[in-house]
């Protein structure tokens, strides 16, 4: 098969994997005149998109879509009638370098079906990364998918050359895996994640300064030293500096958002993952009857990302974001607003007095706005117009906050949820004008600030339409 035809098959086959964003990569460039190439922070790259529209700038391919496993949700499963192809490691290296030189990509995301055996597949993945780093001094971003059953030595070497490693848990419970991917075992997957975490921790502890991953010229130097002694023991500070990630498929099984979030939280806590990616199940051609015939609404994936963010950066526990009666996230409201409506006794919050942890729980108030509120209130009492200026989504926050000039009146209203839904900004289906003044998606923006500045009451400005 021609290289181009293989590329068409194996790039298409890779599109179902969402766990490839390059967040967490450190800025790094091959030094001028060094003979090396690559940079993780270049511009002018060709973007590719996952089915739900996320933008990535990596050459995202499978080494092969042959697979000895038979995961029912996967188009590459053993029993699938899909067209098959296989790259050699040299072909992947060549493609990566060609695309990089043309400035199409900023790195490589390489995954694979399990051809022959986990070790055979892992060896080939490692060979690609090693050849790029050692033979071509490639300093671009490399994300390698890791095969959980592969030998620890191979996983250790993968971490030596890759920026990021990932192992897809795919489904949130062992029961789900038993139903749809019987050859996979959550215990083995988590064992491999534990081993990777151990090596990452070791690398951080051995980092020359503070407890950070090497980056920039320091990482280039380490990689060159490793390349000169390819058979030497793995230098701990070289191990997967952008950490590890995983993907959970949403909607392939009846598992609720509560279960998915509980698994994600446990993965973050136990294996210190950089990211859990949530990927809405996509129906595949000739799908087995055990699978749903439709994708879940994409907004479910979006709500899971929002909830994930609240747990990691806003001090929420996953269990607070759903209830026994409603174990799935509310699709109509963001999870923080839904939580606030269920916990009205915790409000209103006085933005001039509340501690940071409490401010973080106010709907419409982001972590950056909290920092700004804390900084500004040191020298004056905040008014509603200040919240607008500090980029708070005031329409969402208004029923839950007290400011110097505002006390909420709608907190106990039985129809507050409906009022908030009705007040949501709706995206107008019009082409925006490149030179028009920027619209403020936070519910009024400059116009709102100026209306408040004229003395109009907050309620009349924000809830006049309700």
Residues 44-73 interacting with ligand SF4 (rule: CB under 6 A): 67, 69, 71
Measured from the Cβ of residue 411, the count of other Cβ atoms closer than 10 Å reads: 17
Would you count residue 451 as binding ligand SF4 (CB under 6 A)? no
Q: Which is nearer to ligand SF4, 24 or 251 (CB)?
A: 251
Q: Which is nearer to ligand SF4, 103 or 151 (CB)?
A: 151
Name which of 76 and 369 has its Cβ closer to ligand SF4: 76
Residue closer to ligand SF4, measured from CB, 74 or 451: 74
Touching ligand SF4, residues 201-230 (CB under 6 A)? none
Nearest CA-CA partner of 359 in 331, 340, 332, 383? 340
Shortest Å distance, C-beta 77 to ligand SF4: 4
Q: How far is the CB of 53 from ligand SF4 (least distance, A)?
A: 22
114 touches ligand SF4 by CB under 6 A:
yes
Query: CB of 273: closest distance to ligand SF4 in angstroms?
Result: 19
| Residue count of the chain | 466
- How far the first Cα of the chain sits from its last, in Å, is 63
Query: Minimum Å distance from CB 112 to ligand SF4?
Result: 7
Q: Are 275 and 245 in contact (CB under 8 A)?
A: yes
Query: Where in 145-204 is the site for ligand SF4 (CB under 6 A)?
Result: 181
Report the nearest approach of ligand SF4 to the CB of residue 259 (Å). 20
Output b/e per residue, 73-90; b: 16+ Cβ within 10 A. bbbbbeebebebbbbebe
Query: Do the Cβ atoms of 266 and 260 come closer than 8 Å?
Result: no
Rounded to a whole number of angstroms, the minimum distance from the CB of residue 72 to ligand SF4 is 9
**Closest CB to ligand SF4 among residues 22, 121:** 121
Q: Which SS3 state, helix, strand or coil, does residue 354 take?
A: coil
Among 77, 143, 204, 383, binds ligand SF4 (CB under 6 A): 77
Per the structure block, which two tokens stand in for 281? 């199940």
By CB under 6 A, is residue 113 in contact with ligand SF4? yes
User: By CB under 6 A, is residue 86 in contact with ligand SF4?
Assistant: no
Q: Judge whether 364 and 431 are in contact, CB under 8 Å.
A: no
What does the block give as tokens for 257? 């958002």
CA distance 149 to 127: 18
144 near ligand SF4 (CB under 6 A):
no
Q: What sign for the dihedral angle of Cα 262, 263, 266, 267?
A: negative
Exposed, middle or buried by CB within 10 Å (0-12, 13-18, 19+), for 145?
buried
Q: Which two tokens stand for residue 184?
A: 């996979």
305 near ligand SF4, rule: CB under 6 A: no
Q: What is the dihedral of CA 182, 186, 191, 197, to 10 degrees?
A: 130
Among 63, 74, 258, 390, binds ligand SF4 (CB under 6 A): 74
Size of the site for ligand SF4 (CB under 6 A): 9
Residue placing its CB nearer to ligand SF4 in the complex, 56 or 67: 67
Angle at 97 between CA 94 and CA 102, to 5 degrees: 125
Minimal distance in Å, beta carbon 95 to ligand SF4?
A: 20
- Cα–Cα distance for residue pair 183/300, rounded to 1 Å: 28
Q: Which stretch binds ligand SF4 (CB under 6 A): 74-82, 264-272, 283-291, 451-459?
A: 74-82
Residue 86's SS3 state is strand
CB of 377 to ligand SF4, least distance (A): 51
10 Å CB burial of residue 320 (0-12, 13-18, 19+) is middle
Which of 71/203 has CB closer to ligand SF4? 71
Q: How far is the CB of 70 from ligand SF4 (least distance, A)?
A: 6
Regarding 76 and contact with ligand SF4 (CB under 6 A), the answer is yes
Q: How far apart are CA 265 and CA 310, in angstroms?
A: 11
Distance CA 111, CA 48 (A): 16
For ligand SF4, give the closer residue by CB, 147 or 397: 147
Cβ closest to ligand SF4, residue 75 vs residue 311: 75
Which residues make up the interface to ligand SF4 (CB under 6 A)?
67, 69, 71, 74, 76-77, 113-114, 181
């Amino acid at each position: 098969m021609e290289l181009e035809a293989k590329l068409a098959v194996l790039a298409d086959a890779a599109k179902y994997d969402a766990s490839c964003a390059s967040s967490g990569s450190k800025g790094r460039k091959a030094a001028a005149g060094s003979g090396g190439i690559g940079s993780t922070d270049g511009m002018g790259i060709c973007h590719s998109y996952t089915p739900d529209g996320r933008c990535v700038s990596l050459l995202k391919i499978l080494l092969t879509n042959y697979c000895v496993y038979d995961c029912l949700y996967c188009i590459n499963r053993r029993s699938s009638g899909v067209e098959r192809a296989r790259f050699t490691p040299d072909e992947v290296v060549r493609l990566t370098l060609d695309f990089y030189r043309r400035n199409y990509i900023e790195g490589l995301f390489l995954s694979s079906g399990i051809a022959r055996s986990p070790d055979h597949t892992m060896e080939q993945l490692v060979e690609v990364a090693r050849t790029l780093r050692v033979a071509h001094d490639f300093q671009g971003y490399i994300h390698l998918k890791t095969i959980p059953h592969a030998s620890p030595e191979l996983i250790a070497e993968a971490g030596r050359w890759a920026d990021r490693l990932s192992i897809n848990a795919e489904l949130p419970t062992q029961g789900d895996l038993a139903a749809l991917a019987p050859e996979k075992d959550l215990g083995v997957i988590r064992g491999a994640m534990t081993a990777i975490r151990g090596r990452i921790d070791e690398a951080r502890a051995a980092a020359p300064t503070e407890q950070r991953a090497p980056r920039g010229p320091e990482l280039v130097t380490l990689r060159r030293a490793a390349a000169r002694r390819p058979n030497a023991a793995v230098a701990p500070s070289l191990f997967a500096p952008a950490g590890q990630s995983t993907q959970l498929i949403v909607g392939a099984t009846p598992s609720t958002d509560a279960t998915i979030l509980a698994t994600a939280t446990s993965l973050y806590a136990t294996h210190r993952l950089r990211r859990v990616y949530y990927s809405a199940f996509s129906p595949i051609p000739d799908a087995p009857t055990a699978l749903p015939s439709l994708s879940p609404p994409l907004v479910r994936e979006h709500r899971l990302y929002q909830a994930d963010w609240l747990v990691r950066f806003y001090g929420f526990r996953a269990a607070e974001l759903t209830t026994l009666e409603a174990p799935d996230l509310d699709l109509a409201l963001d999870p923080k607003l839904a939580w606030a409506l269920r916990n009205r006794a915790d409000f209103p919050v006085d933005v001039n007095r509340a501690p940071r942890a409490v401010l973080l729980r106010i709907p419409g108030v982001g972590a950056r706005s909290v920092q700004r509120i804390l900084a500004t209130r040191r020298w004056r009492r905040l008014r509603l117009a200040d919240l607008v200026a500090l980029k708070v989504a005031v329409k969402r926050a208004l029923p839950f906050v007290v400011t110097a000039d505002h006390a909420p009146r709608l907190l106990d209203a039985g129809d507050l949820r409906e009022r908030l839904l009705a007040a949501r900004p709706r995206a107008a289906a019009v082409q925006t004008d490149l030179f028009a003044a920027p619209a403020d998606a936070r519910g009024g923006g400059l116009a709102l600030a100026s209306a408040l500045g004229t003395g109009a009451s907050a309620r009349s400005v924000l809830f006049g339409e309700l």
